[in-house]
Chain A
């Protein structure tokens, strides 16, 4: 019986964006059904809350300290470990369709393979190993790549240019004239990175990714083992789904998210209880990274803007669900679906108005750290009782999970056991804690965080940098403070809990690879 893995990722999607996780707006029946048939994880956590480090962890099964991709713009070395390579070496067909982002997007000197494939007209590039074997780029023998806009050298942009050149200007321009994240507002409320996009739905990247994935899958034989990573660029900003779909969610009718604090005085009081980089960014006085528009000040965000951004995200989530449904229908039609392990997740979350913020950055709270994760094991491969796993698990477990599905031993390079199928197994596999790291260095502005999630606690230590001397931090009781409004770091009554968590974290964090890899681009 062939073994097959459909690995589906989104970008910057919140846990509560899916119906199966309690989301009440976006209709996500396809993912909800996958969750009902399999395992739904209620606290899945990334190793980093931006794209390149988190995606590098998915591929390598390593923490950020080990793979060394400490921020967007830092390329994953071409010879880094890759679970896709292990599968390919074992005879699997391998593909990555959609957003890869193991290498920087901004690449005027054409240094990176991902940016060269479409121009070269190649499915992948093969490199010769020391012993003379030829191996595909990161183990993917087929790559068709996309990002959130129609500019640049990737396959989707090339397809748009060649087939629908009039569409290029329809998508929101992600970068401004200074090549920074664009602060320009649009839509009905002037919210940053929102645009009414006249592009027909069929040309939008979500449907393009599904189309290309379906084409690749359709070309596989009945006997092939395959690993297909379908990587949707949405619902990451820009928030510009096709206008034809705006009828799905009327932003004027939306409730504000639970994490939005309506009273600005209370909002500032909550932020002031956290390390100083929170309030500094809120007021626009301390911009430490490229993950949000440098010229946008979060304190200017209005309730209506939050509603409109959320409406756009809900629409993007529905489009992803429908696109995934088309892929799964194809698998059913070919009679393969019962042989397929389906894993669905994202790389990191998004504020979407929580704390009066949008986008992401050095903020290790549920908005960015609690992720959707669903695994439906192939019914023909194994019998698994549908379950909900509440034990915290990390995306660092994905690579070992894929190896396990393939019947391969856990690769030596991975740093976590495979995902558990229930909470009892989580204990046996050693899922005691999840570690998350942040390092940003922006021309002298330095912020570093190290975080442990264990049980119902999240504890973040700041390291010495531009605004911190290494003594501040965050401690949240997830059970009693699900919105993480009350920072218990300095509370004497919780000092023992904090110190125990920190001790556990420092003992288990891998040693940071040295020297630090160079950052080659802002994104």
Chain B
């Protein structure tokens, strides 16, 4: 099992950041993907390499500010759960924590790399905390 975690501190309130990244349809505006399509609790994400991930949205918890999803329907990927949490540090700063558990494990590293880029994109948008 590949298990990875990335995090970033942002110079914005948890509420403001969650209002943005808590919307599953805007993933491509911060995560290094080309496009996002959402229908109900399903999401299709197209990567720059042309690969399309079909995802099951497992949880959008506006109180906990937690988003969970799973890549499904991919014969290569036998298990996956991805989670990001937005946690308030104070009124003007929050930390975003992204984690993924995946089989095959090597994909965890690649998704972790993408998450790292996504978090850097969030820091550009909201500022480093």
The residues of A with any CB-CB pair to B shorter than 8 Å are 73, 104, 106-111, 153, 177-180, 290, 443, 518-522
With the chains together, A265 CA to B47 CA distance in Å? 51
Among B1, B2, B6, B117, which residue has its beta carbon within 8 angstroms of that of A109? Answer: B117
With the chains together, A508 CA to B79 CA distance in Å? 45
User: Is B27 in contact with chain A by the CB < 8 A criterion?
Assistant: no
Query: Do A111 and B32 have beta carbons less than 8 Å apart?
Result: yes
Query: Do B106 and A518 have beta carbons less than 8 Å apart?
Result: no
Query: Do B113 and A109 have beta carbons less than 8 Å apart?
Result: yes
User: Is B59 in contact with chain A by the CB < 8 A criterion?
Assistant: no
Query: Do B106 and A179 have beta carbons less than 8 Å apart?
Result: yes
Residue of A whose beta carbon sits closest to that of B48: A110
Within 8 A of A (CB), among B20-65: 32-33, 47-49, 51
Residue of B whose beta carbon sits closest to that of A175: B106
Query: Do B109 and A180 have beta carbons less than 8 Å apart?
Result: no
B116 CB to nearest chain A CB (Å): 6
With the chains together, A108 CA to B49 CA distance in Å? 6
User: Is B15 in contact with chain A by the CB < 8 A criterion?
Assistant: no
Among A111, A177, A520, A521, which residue has its beta carbon within 8 angstroms of that of B76? Answer: A177
Q: B114: which A residues are within 8 A, CB to CB?
A: 108-109, 111
Determine which residue in B3, B106, B114, B117 has the highest number of CB atoms from chain A within 10 A of its CB, and name it: B106
Q: B112: which A residues are within 8 A, CB to CB?
A: 518-520
With the chains together, A178 CA to B110 CA distance in Å? 13
Q: B76: which A residues are within 8 A, CB to CB?
A: 177-179
Query: Do A519 and B117 have beta carbons less than 8 Å apart?
Result: no
A108-B49, A179-B107 known; A520 vs B2 contact (CB < 8 Å): no
With the chains together, A250 CA to B117 CA distance in Å? 50
With the chains together, A179 CA to B33 CA distance in Å? 21
Query: Do A106 and B106 have beta carbons less than 8 Å apart?
Result: yes
With the chains together, A104 CA to B32 CA distance in Å? 16
**Could you pull out 24 A-B pairs where Cβ atoms are within 8 angstroms?**
A73-B109, A104-B113, A106-B109, A106-B110, A107-B110, A108-B110, A108-B114, A109-B33, A109-B47, A109-B117, A110-B49, A111-B113, A153-B49, A178-B76, A178-B106, A179-B76, A180-B106, A443-B3, A520-B109, A520-B110, A520-B112, A521-B109, A521-B110, A521-B113
Query: Do A110 and B47 have beta carbons less than 8 Å apart?
Result: yes
Q: A109: which B residues are within 8 A, CB to CB?
A: 32-33, 47-49, 110, 113-114, 117
Among A110, A290, A518, A521, which residue has its beta carbon within 8 angstroms of that of B32? Answer: A110
Q: A178: which B residues are within 8 A, CB to CB?
A: 76, 104-106
Q: A73: which B residues are within 8 A, CB to CB?
A: 109
Q: A522: which B residues are within 8 A, CB to CB?
A: 106, 109
- Chain B positions 107 through 129: 1 when the CB is less than 8 Å from some CB of chain A, otherwise 0: 11110111011000000000000
Query: Do A520 and B116 have beta carbons less than 8 Å apart?
Result: yes
Query: Do A180 and B104 have beta carbons less than 8 Å apart?
Result: yes
Residue of A whose beta carbon sits closest to that of B34: A110
Residue of A whose beta carbon sits closest to that of B76: A177
With the chains together, A518 CA to B104 CA distance in Å? 19
With the chains together, A520 CA to B111 CA distance in Å? 8
Q: B107: which A residues are within 8 A, CB to CB?
A: 179
With the chains together, A45 CA to B24 CA distance in Å? 50
A521 CB to nearest chain B CB (Å): 5
With the chains together, A177 CA to B76 CA distance in Å? 7
Query: Do B109 and A519 have beta carbons less than 8 Å apart?
Result: yes
Q: A108: which B residues are within 8 A, CB to CB?
A: 47, 49, 51, 110, 114
With the chains together, A520 CA to B6 CA distance in Å? 11
With the chains together, A34 CA to B104 CA distance in Å? 46
- Chain B positions 70 through 108: 1 when the CB is less than 8 Å from some CB of chain A, otherwise 0: 000000100000000000000000000000000011111
B55 CB to nearest chain A CB (Å): 15
With the chains together, A401 CA to B51 CA distance in Å? 44
Given contacts A73-B109, A521-B106, 16 further A-B contacts (CB under 8 A): A106-B106, A106-B109, A107-B113, A109-B32, A109-B33, A109-B117, A111-B114, A178-B104, A179-B106, A179-B107, A290-B106, A443-B1, A518-B116, A519-B112, A520-B116, A521-B110
With the chains together, A521 CA to B117 CA distance in Å? 13
Determine which residue in A106, A108, A178, A519 has the highest number of CB atoms from chain B within 10 A of its CB, and name it: A108
With the chains together, A153 CA to B49 CA distance in Å? 9
A91 CB to nearest chain B CB (Å): 34
Among B6, B104, B113, which residue has its beta carbon within 8 angstroms of that of A179? Answer: B104
With the chains together, A200 CA to B128 CA distance in Å? 54
Please name the 7 residue pairs, one residue from A and one from B, whose CB atoms are nearest each other, closest first.
A520-B113, A110-B48, A109-B114, A178-B104, A522-B106, A179-B106, A109-B32
B7 CB to nearest chain A CB (Å): 11
B45 CB to nearest chain A CB (Å): 10
Residue of B whose beta carbon sits closest to that of A106: B110
A245 CB to nearest chain B CB (Å): 32
A518-B113, A520-B109, A520-B110 known; A107 vs B3 contact (CB < 8 Å): no
Q: B6: which A residues are within 8 A, CB to CB?
A: 518
Q: B2: which A residues are within 8 A, CB to CB?
A: 443
With the chains together, A108 CA to B113 CA distance in Å? 10
Residue of B whose beta carbon sits closest to that of A518: B116
With the chains together, A420 CA to B106 CA distance in Å? 42
With the chains together, A239 CA to B36 CA distance in Å? 41
Q: A180: which B residues are within 8 A, CB to CB?
A: 104, 106
